[in-house]
Amino acid sequence: MSSTAHMHGGIGESIKRKEDGRFLRGKGSYLDDHVLPNMLHMAILRSPYAHARIRSIDVKAASAKPGVVAVVTGELMAQHKLAWMPTLSGDTQAVLATDKVRFQGQEVAAVLAETKYQAEDALASIEVDYEVLPAVISPDGAKAEGASLIRDDKDGQKDNHIYHWESGDKATTQAAFAKAHKVVRLHTFYPRCHPAPLETCGCIADVNGATGKATIYMTSQAPHAIRTVFALVTGLPEQNIRIISPDLGGGFGNKVPVYPGYVVATAASLLLGRPVKWIEDRSENLISTGFARDFHMTGDLAVDEHGKMLALRVHLDSDNGAFFADAQPSKFKAGLFHIVTGSYDIPTAHVTADGYYTNKAPGGVAYRCSFRVTEASYLIERLVTNAAIELGIDQAEFRKQNFIQPEQFPYHSATGWVYDSGDYPKAMDVALDQLGYAELKKDVEARRKKGEVTGIGIASFTEVVGAGHGAEFDILGLRMFDSAELRVHPTGKAILRMGTKSQGQGHETTFAQIVAEELGIPAQDVAVEEGDTDTAPYGLGTYASRSTPVAGAATAMVARQLREKARKLAAHLLEADEEDLVWERGKFYVKGSPERSKTIQEAAFAAYTNLPEGMQAGLEGVHYYDPPNMTYPFGTYAVVVDVDKGTGQVKVKRMVAVDDCGVRINPMIVEGQIHGGLAEGYGIAFMQLITFDEEGNCIGSNFMDYLIPGSWETPKFELGETSTPSPHHPLGAKGVGESPTVGSPAAYVNAVIDALSPYGITNIDMPVTSDKVWAALRSKGVTE
């Protein structure tokens, strides 16, 4: 029994995670733990080239290999109208290539064999004759005169341009720029990186020819939406498709899209009448599934002579890879990037964005981020620090001078957002106090005089999480609501089923805590189940920190609904008027007579045994919650670095992170989320890059080249907190899982740039590796 088992487990209690009992004992049930009788294994042949025409594919030798049952090509898929599939951004994507390959690692053929080894071995015997074509590896390359046309499969597609998209007001922004005292420009690149969950993506498709039922175990963060997409793509009736998303070993956005492997495995199971398992290896995951970022951004900030921000102009070139498969709300071509004015009261802004096809893997997933807010936050926070340095104003002071003030909420931003609540100066003050900013600044000055390279970086981010409002936010037309179904058993224990899907965030604990708070049943007595489309109510899933803002709200609402029925039951048991009953967490008592009371458990028992005349039996309900607005968590992060002039090595000496996510349901889990995100932010800022050579070969396709921060590299984190509740969320809670990945990269890089600013260095793109820092210093004549 855990040491917190005795606790009630309501909101604000740091109870231990219920799910850890099985995870820590190695008893989690991940996809690869599942073995079905008579199961085949599938391996995928991937393109060695970034861009090549397929002249022919010969599968004869591979088909004759030991244990091989079938080899599937695009041609076979095409016979079943499954060679192409729709993407989450309304484009098409090849399932198995028929005409051309368009990125290195693209799916070309699949082998089905009795064992995984036999399937993998047979791949080498498939002969593909390729005619190699020039590769396009950047938006600039995509725009260049004479660039290869990547998507010649699309009618009317004459170049590599995907979309143009704008937000804000061009005319008022231009007018404000014309009056500016100073304009500060930053051109920066947020590089391609990868969510790289420890468990890669995979599925087991089990199509039963006798019943027509397709049961698909899948590493999916959004099983319900996937079921609908599968029904639409394959034509299978939706009630015959059951997606089961078992325990997930991380997701971070990587497990949102539909991948070709899922479709091929399902088609193969349908054709062969046997279950088919497919699971990627690490390199397959890194080269072919949902990358993140890859945004080339230019920001101009106009300020007046007092340092007041007047206007923001931003242009973005987005590198979307070979298929436009970004996982984001349908309406927004560049995700939620237009939240780019951040925490600042900027009267007018204009954002333009262009998307381009390149010969790189598709994806554009929201890697621990709410649909591109990470890139937006990075740009504005880097730009603000650069502007402060250029203007000679302290970067904390410059931010404070331009913050949206607490009394301005709800705040209407220049690009159309309505921020729900915030107190940015307070979060800043807590961070600066914790850091000892005034003293630290003196120390930095003194050490710089001695020739040392040292600096402080600040980022005061605003996040936008909890999609939707459904009328504005949808994925392929599915409105972004979420759901909770609560059933209280006669003994007063309960099961809560949700449309979300935890990937390690602790939902089994925190959602039980919401029930504990609202209905008074201890959290230990509430089982939480997610991820089975046959049993859970429909929901859009877990990504973009939407679980607490949306499904958490649904849980509170359904618990309140049941409390009202329990009130009637208690009134019946107490022979009192329900209006005379007072609710105190866990029981009802008669006003003025606290000894006359009935517990929630007694009311639950009565729901099945002793009902008032005319009342339906049972104590259960479901709530579909469509949020009226997004929630806007925020915070201030501050980083102190030392830079070694001789080697360019950066040492993070301190990292203070003050987060405000409104009401915290489980403070310990929230802190765990923040620690994890700060570590990932550190990896992005200093270590990670998925890059490509000129031929489009992916460099960074294994953990030797693509570095994951471990305890050795990761700095110590000093956390702080403020709490500004969301006014529209039933519990006042905002999402938090992504804030640290969104906010921290700019803080880390700002610290390096602050340290290098005395030498006139204004930018180093991530990852800020020692060779880049070394070269930047040398370019300014620093040789020591």
Enumerate the active-site residues.
Answer: 221, 368-369, 738
Three-state SS for 421-483 is CCCHHHHHHHHHHHHCHHHHHHHHHHHHHCCCEEEEEEEEEECCECCCCCCCCEECCEECCEE
Question: Which of 136/514 has CB closer to ligand CDP?
Answer: 514
Among 266, 385, 415, 510, binds ligand CDP (CB under 6 A): 510
Q: Does 41 bind ligand CDP (CB under 6 A)?
A: no
Cβ burial of 707 (10 Å; 0-12, 13-18, 19+) is middle
Among 256, 569, 661, 756, binds ligand CDP (CB under 6 A): 661
Among 524, 555, 673, 750, binds ligand CDP (CB under 6 A): 673
Question: Which of 520/737 has CB closer to ligand CDP?
Answer: 737
Query: Over the Cα atoms of the chain, what is R_g?
Result: 27
**C-beta of residue 689 within 8 angstroms of C-beta of residue 196:** no
Q: How far is the CB of 624 from ligand CDP (least distance, A)?
A: 17
Distance CA 702, CA 330 (A): 32
Q: How far is the CB of 269 from ligand CDP (least distance, A)?
A: 31
- Encoded tokens for 35: 């073995």
Strand residue runs (E) in 578-736 = 581-584, 587-590, 593-599, 619-625, 634-643, 650-660, 691-692, 698-699, 718-721
Distance CA 122, CA 41 (A): 12
Q: How far is the CB of 126 from ligand CDP (least distance, A)?
A: 39
Q: How far is the CB of 583 from ligand CDP (least distance, A)?
A: 23
Q: Does 664 bind ligand CDP (CB under 6 A)?
A: yes
Q: How far is the CB of 536 from ligand CDP (least distance, A)?
A: 15
Question: Which of 223/735 has CB closer to ligand CDP?
Answer: 735
| Identity of residue 261 | G
> Which residue do the tokens 């991940």 mark?
30
Among 9, 363, 627, 662, binds ligand CDP (CB under 6 A): 662
Cβ burial of 233 (10 Å; 0-12, 13-18, 19+) is middle
Q: How far is the CB of 503 from ligand CDP (least distance, A)?
A: 7
Q: Does 666 bind ligand CDP (CB under 6 A)?
A: yes
Q: Does 266 bind ligand CDP (CB under 6 A)?
A: no
Among 215, 377, 505, 629, binds ligand CDP (CB under 6 A): 505
Q: How far is the CB of 719 from ligand CDP (least distance, A)?
A: 14
Site for ligand CDP in 725-764 (CB under 6 A): 733-737
Q: Does 566 bind ligand CDP (CB under 6 A)?
A: no
Q: Does 507 bind ligand CDP (CB under 6 A)?
A: yes
Among 244, 373, 600, 669, binds ligand CDP (CB under 6 A): 669
Q: How far is the CB of 670 from ligand CDP (least distance, A)?
A: 5
Distance CA 159, CA 666 (A): 51
Which of 126, 6, 1 has the alpha carbon at shortest distance from 71? Answer: 126
**How far out from the chain centre does Cα 231 lie?**
25
Q: Does 380 bind ligand CDP (CB under 6 A)?
A: no
Q: Does 366 bind ligand CDP (CB under 6 A)?
A: no
Distance CA 694, CA 134 (A): 9
DSSP 34-103: ---TT-EEEEEEE-SSSSEEEEEEE-HHHHTSTTEEEEEEHHHHHHTT-SEEE-TTS-EEESS-SSEE-S
In sequence order, which residues have a C-beta less than 8 Å from that of residue 120 and are 6 or more positions away?
Answer: 43, 111
Q: How far is the CB of 693 from ligand CDP (least distance, A)?
A: 35
Question: Which of 626/705 has CB closer to ligand CDP?
Answer: 626
Size of the site for ligand CDP (CB under 6 A): 23
Which of 518, 4, 534 has the alpha carbon at shortest distance from 241? Answer: 534
Per-residue x/- marks for ligand CDP, 511-550, CB under 6 A?
-------------------------------x--xxxx--
Cβ burial of 129 (10 Å; 0-12, 13-18, 19+) is exposed
Per-residue x/- marks for ligand CDP, 680-719, CB under 6 A?
----------------------------------------
Site for ligand CDP in 99-128 (CB under 6 A): none
Distance CA 168, CA 210 (A): 56
Question: Which of 275/468 has CB closer to ligand CDP?
Answer: 468
Question: Which of 11/749 has CB closer to ligand CDP?
Answer: 11
SS3 230: helix
Site stretch for ligand CDP (CB under 6 A), options 80-88, 189-197, 396-404, 662-670: 662-670
Question: Which of 354/508 has CB closer to ligand CDP?
Answer: 508
Q: Does 395 bind ligand CDP (CB under 6 A)?
A: no
**C-beta of residue 216 within 8 angstroms of C-beta of residue 389:** no
Q: How far is the CB of 510 from ligand CDP (least distance, A)?
A: 3
Phi-psi region of 502 (alpha: psi -120 to 50; beta: other; left: phi over 0): beta
Q: Does 665 bind ligand CDP (CB under 6 A)?
A: yes
Question: Which of 289/510 has CB closer to ligand CDP?
Answer: 510
Q: Does 370 bind ligand CDP (CB under 6 A)?
A: no
Q: How far is the CB of 750 from ligand CDP (least distance, A)?
A: 24
Q: Are strands 698-699 and 482-488 parallel, antiparallel or unpaired?
A: unpaired
C-alpha distance from residue 298 to each of 52, 144, 183, 559, 699 (Å): 33, 19, 13, 47, 26
Site stretch for ligand CDP (CB under 6 A), options 79-87, 240-248, 418-426, 661-669: 661-669
Provide the β-strand partners of residue 86. Answer: 92
Q: Does 421 bind ligand CDP (CB under 6 A)?
A: no
Distance CA 705, CA 771 (A): 15
Question: Which of 12/235 has CB closer to ligand CDP?
Answer: 12
Question: Which of 149/663 has CB closer to ligand CDP?
Answer: 663
Query: What residues make contact with ligand CDP under the rule CB under 6 A?
Result: 505-507, 510, 542, 545-548, 661-666, 669-670, 673, 733-737
